[in-house]
Amino acid sequence: MLLLKGKTAVVTGCLRGIGRAALETFAKNGADVFACCQREDERFAEYVLELSGNCGVSITPVYFDLLDEDAVKEGAKFIQKSKKSIDILVNVAGANFDALFHMVTMEQMKRTFAVNLFSQILFAQYITRLMLKGGGSGSVINISSISALDGNPGQLSYASSKAALIAATKTMSSELAPKDIRVNALAPGVIKTAMTDTLPEDIRSRMISKSELKRIGLPGEVAGAILYLELTAALDRRGGFRTCC
């Protein structure tokens, strides 16, 4: 059963990790996808061709650097020119510059917030306008982190930016819900990605110890939660049931 047949999604951070898992999950459930990545990658292009062929969907790579505000705007314009109605936005892409509190530089703070918060808001502004033009309904899912709630030594910049994203999500939700656009955030724990592979072992072990499963999570498990949030948002729009934001 194709749960997202006829829908079009925009997903950032598709080169690897959670973003790539979300791309694959959406494609396998029948959604066309604009797969946003920081840079062009030959292997990714080959992967997209194979995935789209196997799933019978359209997957369009969109390349832009989240640190470049003009590039983010151009990426949104590229999607707009397709004339497709956008149903789903998943903001996955993120950055992490680890350093202990007294060692964190203002440049690290600014870069982290630029990627994890400012660019997410800017891109969401453009994509949700497309949702409104396409019929006034949609779903936005922001990927935060458990660090935003618990905090971790050495992750001041990252945890702060992800906590700010949760606050932004709540405000976006309250403003966009009357326009039939649902906004939610996920706060995954330690997930097996290139980013968590760079964490010091003591920090990773401490985070895993807080998990009831006592193991590292997988990107596909987060992608399943993303799919769940989209499906519950769709049911809510049909009067099925409500979920909290």
pLDDT tens per residue across span 153-205: 778 999 999 999 999 999 999 999 999 999 999 999 878 776 666 667 777 77
Q: Which domains does the chain have, with CATH numbers?
A: 8-244 (3.40.50.720)
Q: DSSP H helical segments within the chain, as ranges?
A: 17-28, 42-55, 69-81, 106-113, 119-133, 147-150, 156-176, 194-197, 201-209, 219-237
- The pLDDT of residue 56 is above 70: yes
- 9: tokens are 């999604």
Is the pLDDT score of 245 beyond 60?
A: no
Instruction: Indicate if the pLDDT at residue 238 is higher than 70.
Output: no
DSSP H or E run through 62: strand 59-63
Number of C-beta neighbours around residue 48 at 10 A: 20
Higher pLDDT: 215 or 223? It is 223
Angstrom distance (rounded) from CA 186 to CA 92: 10
Can you list the alpha helix ranges (DSSP code H) found in 114-176? 119-133, 147-150, 156-176
158 is catalytic: yes
| Choice among 47, 63, 158, 228 that is catalytic | 158
Per-residue pLDDT, averaged over 7-34, amounts to 96
Say what the pLDDT of residue 196 is.
66
Percent of the chain with pLDDT over 90: 68
244 Rama class: left (phi>0) / alpha (psi -120 to 50) / beta: beta
pLDDT level of residue 70 (50, 70, 90 thresholds): very high
- Identify the CA nearest to 89 among candidates 49, 138, 133: 138
At residue 242, the pLDDT reads 37
Give the residue-averaged pLDDT of 130-139.
86
pLDDT at 231: 87
Question: How high does pLDDT run on average in the chain?
Answer: 88
Q: Average of pLDDT values for 59-76?
A: 96
For the ranges 23-37, 38-52, 90-104, the lowest mean pLDDT is seen at: 90-104
